[in-house]
Amino acid sequence: MEYSLNCKNSALPCQVIVDEDNGRFMLRNADTSGEYFNSLEQMVLWIQENWHNEDFHDPAEFQQMCKALKGAVHL
């Protein structure tokens, strides 16, 4: 799964990459810094703590991504 969300604080989108087959769980923040995780569960928890609806131009798109990620890990 890959998501690209237009955030308010950057011209570049925030990106979320979930590649369970190869064990890649990473994202790019609005400030273009990156985060890498050992599991999808860790990634979802980080997103819940650090990203918020109001950070994105389309909050519904962010919520939809969160719902899909949570469903994948059963949180």
For the chain, domain boundaries: 2-73
* pLDDT-derived band at 9, boundaries 50, 70, 90: confident
Sign, CA dihedral 32-59-2-26, equals positive
At residue 19, the pLDDT reads 93
Q: How far, in Å, CA of 13 to CA of 49, rounded?
A: 19
| Residue 34: count of CB within 10 angstroms of its CB | 11
Contact of 54 with 61, CB cutoff 8 Å: no
DSSP character for 14?
A: E
| pTM of the predicted structure, to 2 decimals | 0.88
Report whether pLDDT(32) > 80: yes
The pLDDT value given to residue 72:
85
**Distance separating alpha carbons of residues 15 and 4, to the nearest angstrom:** 5
